[in-house]
Amino acid sequence: MRYRTLEQAKEVAAIRPAAAPRMSKRERLERWAELLEQHGGALRSLYETEFAPWHRRRTMREDNSPLSVAHADPVLRGQGLAGDTYGDAADFFGLTHGEAHHILCYCHCGHSISAELVATRVRHAAVHAQTRTAALSLWLVPAGAVVAATVAALLS
């Protein structure tokens, strides 16, 4: 192996910074909540998300919305947030329709909502996401043990 300085290596190879580690769903939601708290003030909600067909709902967006606050963040964009639409947020943050509706729809808050209240709703989704993951893990471990015991019994 031939050792080179960083400057020498740049002459023969493309040097790129290491990619940031992938944030968990909870970390992404917590980051969004922090950004909303820092933003403060009123934000615009999305209109009638529950009535729009899925293809229309995915493209819904508003300027100065909770989604535009998230998309303005270079960290979240670097993690893969593609845009400031309902669909982009649902995909990136792993939100169910019910969660996204509760966080973003005007029927829960009117046409504008305080960034602090949205942050509270986003944090609730983050805690709920962790609880769901923990509950699934607890369910899977006993199921795995049952399968292992069944296989062992069949083989003996």
Domain enclosing residue 87, as ranges: 20-131
Question: Would you call 114 helix, strand, or coil by DSSP?
Answer: strand
Q: Does residue 89 lie within any of the structural domains?
A: yes
Compute the mean pLDDT over every residue in the chain, rounded to the nearest whole number. Answer: 84
Number of domains in the chain: 1
Tally of CA atoms within 13 A in the half-sphere of 142 that contains its CB:
4
pLDDT-derived band of residue 137, with 50, 70 and 90 as boundaries? very low
Q: Does residue 5 lie within any of the structural domains?
A: no
**Residue 151 pLDDT:** 52
Q: Does residue 85 lie within any of the structural domains?
A: yes
Angle, CA of 131, 109 and 85, to the nearest 5° = 70
> Which pLDDT tens digit goes with each residue over 35-51?
999 999 999 999 999 99
- Distance in angstroms (rounded) separating the CA atoms of residues 74 and 114: 23
